[in-house]
Amino acid sequence: MQNVDTLIVAAQVLPIEPEGVVLTDHAVAISGGKIVALAPAAQALATYSAKSVVRLDRHVLMPGLVNLHCHAAMTLMRGLADDLPLMAWLQDRVWPVEGKHVGDDFVHDGSLIAAAEMLRGGITCVNDMYFFPGATARAMLRAGMRATLGIIAIEFPSAYAADAAGYLAKGLATREAYLGESTLSFCLAPHAPYTVGDETLRKIATLAEELDVPIHMHVHETRDEIAQEVERHKVRPLWRLRGLGLVSPRLIAVHAVHLDDSELDLLAREGASVAHCPASNLKLASGIAPVAAMLARGINVGVGTDGAASNNRLDLFSEMRLASLLAKGASGEARVLDAHATLRMATLGGARALGLDNAIGSLLPGKWADLTAVELSSLETLPCFDAASHIAYVAGREHVSHVWVGGEARVTEGELIGIDVATLKEKALWWKQRIVQA
């Protein structure tokens, strides 16, 4: 018998790799936080002696979901700026509140609330972009959630930094401080083409190469933003980014709602990824991203929630369902983004965009044991003919029963481990008072 830390035996397993596979009565063996083997249950029980055996007889086990675009701290602004288009949302409501309140404590508390919501909903990894990323790092470490944190850049001053050079210097110092953490990684995160100048963007392209990290940026979110940028630069934003060296396999183009054929071809040719945020795109009336056309060209697509102030949930189950239905409805092709492809997008697609596909995103041996179990024994989830179909079209985050990050249990029987929800609720109410009194 081979000693392992944990053996998880599940009625069904969706390993994501190989593509489209559903395994019945299989077990995942975990040691040192990593997947050692995925094998038929009887064989695994005969091979491995585990300190802990978890039996999931009514469940499907799959890789943890990857939230490819978030502003975690914005949970504290949830519902504060509804029913507005992007620029009014940002300029009239969000930036003024951020200007008054955003600081280390705000970002820490808001990010911890977000981590609790995401873990409880089966999300094990988040790609975040926000002021004070060091505070987000502390919150993510405290919650035990995997995160890629943005070294942000924006050309206006905040409580965090005075100018673009200051943002980059602070972000780089934060990265240095957390280099040894296996659950944290960093990327460069220029906010958007309309808030970051050429010189800073050139510097970011060079830094991304030097540090070997992704570039996470809002791109072509609204028609208006593109029109304004064309007036200013006489070229559409994605082509400007290309001229500055930002369109490459490192680029995670967030939203990418308004792309013409030449721009879709450009993303495909350069191997860039897209973070598809269907709910945020609808709520701000930005539009519907051409996901079917992206997939037809082989563009890697992951799924993001965006922040809680524009969604207003950090829930990848509802995003998966929406992504699949929108892709079918918008393309007029029911076969587009089937259940398996949708789940792959929300796991391996996100991991690949982050350069973490050797580490997470599927259940291959050697990857971190970032896992989500979903119970499929409720009235609304029976019978189940295809577990992937139920994940994409039926189940909600309320059906998530267990979550592990790096082999550590973060949710058991639907309850968060090591996070005091009552304290987080008090913090949320305290910040609401501060915001309404200001």
Let me know: does 70 contact 307? Beta carbons within 8 Å.
yes
Which of 5, 98 has the CB closer to ligand LTUXU72L? 98
Residue 306 marked in a binding site: yes
Q: Which helix (H) or strand (E) holds 47?
A: helix 41-47
Q: Has 155 been labeled as part of a binding site?
A: no
Which of 6, 65, 98, 392 touches ligand LTUXU72L by CB under 6 A? 98
Q: Which does 339 bind (CB under 5 to 8 A by kind): ligand LTUXU72L, Zn ion, none?
A: none
Site string for ligand LTUXU72L, 132-161 (x = CB under 6 A): --------------------x-x-------
- Segment 188 to 247, residues that bind ligand LTUXU72L, using CB under 6 A: 191-192, 218, 221
Q: What is the dihedral of CA 193, 195, 200, 204, to 10 degrees?
A: -60
From the list 6, 31, 136, 280, which residue makes contact with ligand LTUXU72L (rule: CB under 6 A)?
A: 280
Tally of CB atoms within 10 A around 317 = 24
CB of 273 to ligand LTUXU72L, least distance (A): 17
Q: Is 218 annotated as a binding residue?
A: yes
Q: Which DSSP category does 370 fall into?
A: -
3-state secondary structure of 200: helix
Q: How far is CA 41 from CA 9, 11, 23, 264, 422, in A?
A: 6, 9, 10, 44, 38
Q: Which strands form 146-153's sheet, in the order they lie side by side?
A: 65-70, 123-128, 146-153, 184-190, 215-219, 251-255, 273-276, 300-303
Q: Taking the complex as a whole, how short is the minimal distance between the CB of residue 85 and ligand LTUXU72L, in angstroms?
A: 11
Stretch that binds ligand LTUXU72L, among 3-11, 256-264, 304-312, 353-361 (CB under 6 A): 304-312
| Strand segments (E) across 64-191 | 65-70, 123-128, 146-153, 184-190
Structural tokens at position 175:
């990265």
d(CA 147, CA 127): 6
- Contact status: 306 vs Zn ion (CB under 5 A): yes
Establish whether 224 is an annotated binding residue: no
Residues belonging to the binding site for substrate are 98, 191, 221, 306
User: Which residues does the annotation place in the binding site for Zn(2+)?
Assistant: 69, 71, 218, 306
Binding site for ligand LTUXU72L (CB under 6 A): 71, 86, 90, 94, 98, 129-131, 152, 154, 191-192, 218, 221, 280, 306-307, 310
